[in-house]
Amino acid sequence: MIKVTLDHGSTATLEQGATVAQAFQALGIACGRQVVAARINGELVDLSRVLSADCTIAPIRLDSPEGLEIMRHSAAHLMAEAVRDLFPGVKVAIGPAIESGFYYDFGVPEPFTPEDLAKIETHMAELMAQDLPFRRDDMGREQAINYFRGEGEAYKVELLEGIPQEKVSLYQQGSFIDLCRGPHIPSTGYIQAFKLTATSGAYWRGDERRPMLQRIYGTAFPTRKELARHLELLEEAKRRDHRRLGRELELFSIEEEAGPGMVIYHPKGALLRSLIENFERREHLKRGYQMVMGPQMLKADLWKRSGHWDNYRDHMYFTEVEGQMYGIKPMNCLAHMLIYKSKVRSYRDLPLRLFELGTVLRHERSGVLHGLTRVRQFTQDDAHILCMPEQVESEILGVLKFVAEVMAIFGFDYEVELSTRPEKSIGTDAEWDLATNALTGALQTWGLPYDICAGEGAFYGPKIDIKLKDALKRRWQCATIQCDFTLPERFDLAYIGPDGERHRPVMLHRVILGSLERFMGVLIEHFAGAFPVWLAPVQAILLPITDRVHAYAQEVARLLWDADLRVEVDTRQETLRYKIREAQVQKIPYMVIMGDREAADRTLAPRLRDGTELKGVPLEAFIQRLKEESRTPSPANSA
């Protein structure tokens, strides 16, 4: 007999060999279709797992994040079975759950069409209705290799050959067998609401030198109502796509002849970026940061010394000058350390906060490039804080406060993650423990809830990642705080302490908005291109009705320009209705209509972006109104 304890304390005694599902039944937990898996002593397992010893178990419900991920991963297997049935000879690669659903990669001769997706969906529904059980089979790795080699599944064989464990697990539902660690839902009938959403090409293992596979994306939810809501958000996301709005609003372009991942800013986009940069400079100077600027490339020896050569070289570009190898910077930290080393530092100089709007280049694979949110050249609002160990927590708290204030100004909510040491890293265990404890302590002092992302830290230190949430509740990587004891050691950074001895400083790497390109892409979609007045590249457009008021329009424009307001004048020989429609497409906050009456009375007739019309507004009153709305919001009154 074995003793099974529920996570909140209830216990039951069962015969050895009982399943998790039977244990829940004995504990009075009604599973139905709402419990999809379990945790045994912290390990995620299927409900069919056999119990062999005393243990503590907890149910995983379908409406929990873990339950949803398990169901979506099972939906990926269901989709793969449907594809195998409909397209004989297809080769299957990998099919994970992702944040918004799932995908599976296939080796097929031709790309999938929209008609193919419809057929696959129909067959998935048929398989779902059969309520096929998911069955796990543990076998030796070599046995599994022989099985998949016999099936002609070369991608599965390659995956297995890279697995060090001698035992692996396979899952089967219906006629489909897949290499998978699980767990899975009990049967396909648990998948009630799903939709295939898109297809794309994807290189095997993300390597452009490997075969191009065809990826099918899908999503699944516990209920049809939740699925319908998600599909509505997807349609809204298409309408807000920053790549489309970037063209329509004449903000930026990415031209194939210039190179993928290289952004070309048009006048309005360059102005929007300048507004953000100027905001950044003001906010950093207010908080005691000093402006610096480093070169675009540095000798390769420095990158070897920092560890980038061994740990980040595949993401870097290199060039040779007079027989000397240089690395084009993917990060700004090296020049900042050289600034620190340029003279002897005292403990009285610390903390030293160095800030740079630093442009970097990274070798991103072409398959992952996406508009502004994933590019090869971008600018970071990068800063490095060098401080004494006893100052670390207060400096991290200062950055967290900075992030909170900036997110409030732009109107973003956010979530926090703590990422710990990755497998490929530098530094000692003691240094990593110190850095991780410093970040954890600051988060706990600030009172922020956070998730732990094991093994996802930078190669030189753990980090706090801020994921902002946009108007559609999507999460985007934004601010980062990285605690680094290693690079100061490698570059022999020091300060003279109160005792007159040399001591090693700690370095915090941090960004607030992160990549300006990515932030602009998120900002465009968050506001659907309708920026608040203080950010709008064009705040008002003057629309004279007749040639007789052109002189008045130019006078008003000069007054607005003198007040540092951003205004255009449309004197084209077009109808007023046409001009208003164009201004609405450009999402300009104010369309100012000017006729003979307005010119005579020195008034204006502003039309707001939402369609509200104002009549007879005195010129000075309008200028004052626009100046008020052009001020950068403060955290206290922003929303």
290 is annotated as an active-site residue: no
Tell the burial category of 147 from Cβ atoms under 10 Å away from its Cβ (0-12, 13-18, 19+): middle
Q: What is the DSSP string of 345-362?
A: -BGGG-SEEEEEEEEEE-
463 is annotated as an active-site residue: yes
39 is annotated as an active-site residue: no
Query: Which token pair is 107?
Result: 């080796």
301 is annotated as an active-site residue: no
Which of 382, 465, 470, 570 is labelled catalytic? 382
Q: What is the DSSP string of 426-473?
A: -S-HHHHHHHHHHHHHHHHHHT---EEETT-SBTTB-EEEEEEE-TT-
Which of 72, 156, 284, 362 is labelled catalytic? 362
* Cβ–Cβ under 8 Å, residues 283 and 402: yes
Which of 39, 353, 463, 566 is labelled catalytic? 463
Which of 384, 421, 510, 579 is labelled catalytic? 384
CA atoms in the 13 A half-sphere facing the CB of 143: 9
Which of 46, 84, 240, 333 is labelled catalytic? 333
* Cβ–Cβ under 8 Å, residues 107 and 155: yes
The 3-class SS string of 36-92 reads EEEEECCEEECCCCECCCCEEEEEEECCCHHHHHHHHHHHHHHHHHHHHHHCCCCEE
362 is annotated as an active-site residue: yes
Which of 22, 173, 380, 482 is labelled catalytic? 380
Dihedral sign from CA coordinates of 458, 460, 462, 468: negative
Query: Helices 429-446 and 392-410 sit at what angle, rounded to 10 degrees?
Result: 50
**CA angle, 411 then 415 then 420, to 5°:** 145
- What is the side-by-side order of every strand in the sheet holding 297-299? 297-299, 324-328, 317-321
| CA distance linking residue 631 with residue 636, whole number of Å | 14
Contacts of 262-268 spanning 24+ positions with Cβ under 8 A = 262/375, 262/376, 262/377, 263/372, 263/375, 263/377, 263/378, 263/517, 267/537, 268/537, 268/538
Which of 156, 374, 376, 509 is labelled catalytic? 509
* Cβ–Cβ under 8 Å, residues 340 and 494: no
336 is annotated as an active-site residue: no
SS3 240: helix
| CA distance linking residue 61 with residue 78, whole number of Å | 20
Q: What is the largest CA-CA distance in the chain?
A: 98
- Length of the chain measured in residues: 639
181 is annotated as an active-site residue: no
Residues annotated catalytic, as ranges: 333, 362, 380, 382, 384, 463, 509
